[in-house]
Amino acid sequence: MKKVKKPYHHGNLAESLLDAVDQLATSFGLEAVTLRGCAKLLGVSPSSAFRHYADKRALLTAFATRALLQLSDAMQQAKEQAKIEGDDPFCAVGLAYIKFALDKPAFFRAMWREETIYCNDGAYKAATRKLAAHLQGGFADTLEDKDPDSFSTQELLSWSSVHGLASLFVDGPVGKDETKKQKLTTAREMIETMAPALAVRK
């Protein structure tokens, strides 16, 4: 296997180790990730890796935290860009969720694997709250929302639909022989089919 090409210095080794997790998990699955394996991929000593992460669970916690934050940012950016371009923000946010899963399957799989992470880690909990704010807050503020601290039926329908299709694309039987473009076309059609049920769309 080729080493991660991204250069790093002492100050960003922690981030480079997360890049190595992505590469190993994408190729072999999250179960294959180890701190020593990530260190080897980067060409550094295991002791250097252990200075940043105490164990594999800590490493995967940081990886899941990064995934949650990146998905939150992707949803927010999609909404803002759609408004600038005059597109449908709700559709854009849903597609951003599915595109994230297609582009970063290892991140997508890692986010809620509580059996492999430290769920009480402060940074992880903050990241889950940030994503929850988007999901419970009118699906990134594209649906009317009377209670931003709980899920409405419209928010649940939106999230379960895009998450379910994303999972079917990443790990299931849907779209196995299709290109990313074809999958996103299917995703758009599904979101547009779902839209009439969301009478409270903004």
**Residue 6 and residue 90 share a domain:** no
**Residue 32 and residue 73 share a domain:** no
**Cα atoms in the Cβ-side hemisphere of radius 13 Å centred on 195:** 17
**Residue 91 and residue 117 share a domain:** yes
pTM as predicted: 0.88
User: Can you list the residues of the chain whose pLDDT is less than 70?
Assistant: 1-11, 199-202
**Residue 115 and residue 43 share a domain:** no
Geometric angle at alpha carbon 30, from 25 and 34, rounded to 5°: 90
Q: What is the pLDDT of residue 11?
A: 60
**Residue 174 and residue 83 share a domain:** yes
Name the domain count of the chain.
Answer: 2
- Answer yes or no: are the C-beta atoms of 169 and 177 closer than 8 Å: no
Q: What is the pLDDT of residue 7?
A: 47
Residue 17 lies in a domain: yes
Q: What is the pLDDT of residue 2?
A: 47
Q: How far apart are CA 199 and CA 49, in angstroms?
A: 51
Give the structural domain span for 12: 1-53
Joined together, the tokens standing for residue 17 give 């180790």
**Residue 80 and residue 43 share a domain:** no
**Residue 70 and residue 49 share a domain:** no
**Residue 95 and residue 46 share a domain:** no
Residue 127 lies in a domain: yes
Q: What is the pLDDT of residue 200?
A: 53
Q: Which of 78, 84, 75, 191 is nearest to 134 (CA)?
A: 75
**Residue 14 and residue 69 share a domain:** no
Q: What is the pLDDT of residue 8?
A: 47
